[in-house]
A and B are shown apart, each in its own frame.
Chain A
Amino acid sequence: MQISDFFRGSPDGVSVSGPKIVCSFDVFGVTINLTETVIISWVIIAAVTLLLLWLTKDMQTKAVTKRQAVAEWIVQTVYGLVEDTMGKHWRHFAPYIASLFTFSILGSLISMLGLRSVTADFNAPLTWALITFVLIHGTNIRTHGFFGYLKGYVDPVPVMLPINILSEIATPVSMSLRHFGNVVSGMVITSLLYFALSAATKGLGIALLCIGVPAVLSLYFDLFSGFMQAFVFIMLTMVYISNADGSQETANAN
């Protein structure tokens, strides 16, 4: 993380800003901002695409290279996770779960390269939560029919209607805010720490505390938190979507 990004104004104040706008343009009177988040996402996508191309290059049925073993391990692990959580009939969902997890974790860990975390922009987790929201309701309509889906809102008694609607809306809001909150709080704490350490360095005259302390805290706030939030996000996505098709009860019964 670049300290200068988060330190604004006078040295005795700390402020944390949102993503910078690289450029903005008008499309039919609507201002579209191309932000730091989007540019860094492109970097991540390019890196992931190249990595996947490299991993799956020259694959053979025999004489498996380590590269191919990694590729097969990723695919089978994701298949296993999706089948265990959602059931075998949701197997086709594995590529989306893998891409969501990768995007989320790399979006958080990119901060270790000194770039701004993609997931520290509320719009990114919000987009993924909205995708999950659409998939939940799409699955629900597909399984129960449109009227069956609407009837679900007045279950078990019609009085529950506002509470049911609220709980459906709460799902994407809680998912996105949880993810955003965790990453951004780590960022804020790290900013505060850098401020404190630089103040201490000024006070002591030597930058002793700047060595080691940020690395240990970064281990928790970047690595652990980034991994946990990505994992929580995909688990919630899988559970919510597979619950929506009503077959989870039978799957659990088995």
Chain B
Amino acid sequence: MDFLTIDPGTILFTLINTLLIFLAFKFILFKRVDAILEKRQQEVKSVYSAADEALASAASDQEKYAQAMANAKEEAAQIVSRAEKTAQREGDAILAQARAEALAAREKASRDTEREQAQARTALQGEISDLAVELAGKIMEKEIRKEDHERLIRDFLAELDNTDEGDNA
């Protein structure tokens, strides 16, 4: 072929060849790389949105925990104050009981003392009457029978006792 010719066959073939190489570039290189770039952009976008979500949820969690902490503090204060009140009440009750018991013990002690006194008095009366009868017998020398004297003195003492109690009252 001549050095410079315009050959329709070569032009036609070059046109087809250019189309072929264009198709190769478009559907192999550009299509695939574009798809990858697009996919990567999507992934980056989704990663960013996931990070934003995590951040938002962390913030809400923090708020929730702060709220829970405040609630717990309040509850603890309530529990403490309730316990204090209960302790106070129980302490008071124990104290009152102790006081009552002490009072009862003292009363019992004084009652015992009185009873012992009464017993002692009764015993003393018996002894005194015996002593008096013996004494009177010695003085009177059998003029009066022992039983009569005894009865007389006991009556007298009983009368005396009664006046005593009347005085005390």
A165 shortest CB reach to chain B, Å: 20
**A-contact bits for B1-41, CB 8 A (1 contact / 0 none):** 11111111111111101101110111011101110110110
Q: Are B7 and A35 in contact (CB under 8 A)?
A: yes
CB-CB under 8 A from B15, the residues of chain A are 127, 131
Q: How many Å lie between the Cα of A68 and that of B15 in the bound state?
A: 30
Q: How many Å lie between the Cα of A137 and that of B1 in the bound state?
A: 32
Q: Are A32 and B12 in contact (CB under 8 A)?
A: yes
Interface of A is mostly: helix
A124 interface residue per 8 A CB criterion: yes
B43 interface residue per 8 A CB criterion: yes
Q: Are A99 and B25 in contact (CB under 8 A)?
A: yes
Pairs across A and B, CB under 8 Å, 28 listed: A16-B3, A17-B1, A18-B5, A33-B10, A35-B7, A38-B10, A42-B17, A45-B17, A52-B25, A55-B29, A56-B29, A59-B32, A59-B36, A60-B36, A61-B40, A74-B29, A95-B26, A95-B29, A96-B25, A99-B18, A99-B21, A99-B24, A99-B25, A99-B26, A100-B22, A103-B17, A123-B6, A123-B11
CB-CB under 8 A from B14, the residues of chain A are 37-38, 41, 123-124, 127-128
Chain B residue nearest to A53 in the complex (CB): B28
Chain A interface (Cβ < 8 Å from any Cβ of B): 16-21, 24, 30-35, 37-38, 41-42, 44-45, 48-49, 52-53, 55-56, 59-61, 68, 71-72, 74-75, 94-96, 98-100, 102-103, 121-124, 126-128, 130-131, 180, 184
Q: Are A103 and B10 in contact (CB under 8 A)?
A: no
Q: Are A131 and B18 in contact (CB under 8 A)?
A: yes
Q: Are B28 and A56 in contact (CB under 8 A)?
A: yes
| A102-B21 contact in complex given A75-B30, A122-B6, A127-B15, C-beta closer than 8 Å | yes
Q: How many Å lie between the Cα of A101 and that of B11 in the bound state?
A: 18
CB-CB under 8 A from A98, the residues of chain B are 25, 29-30
CB-CB under 8 A from A30, the residues of chain B are 8
Given contacts A95-B22, A127-B10, 16 further A-B contacts (CB under 8 A): A17-B3, A35-B1, A38-B10, A41-B13, A41-B17, A52-B25, A56-B29, A56-B33, A71-B29, A95-B29, A96-B26, A98-B30, A99-B24, A99-B26, A100-B18, A124-B14
B4 shortest CB reach to chain A, Å: 5
Contact partner of A75 among B10, B20, B29, CB < 8 A? Answer: B29
Task: List the 4 closest pairs (A to B, CB-CB), nearest first.
Answer: A123-B10, A32-B9, A95-B26, A127-B14
Chain A residue nearest to B33 in the complex (CB): A75
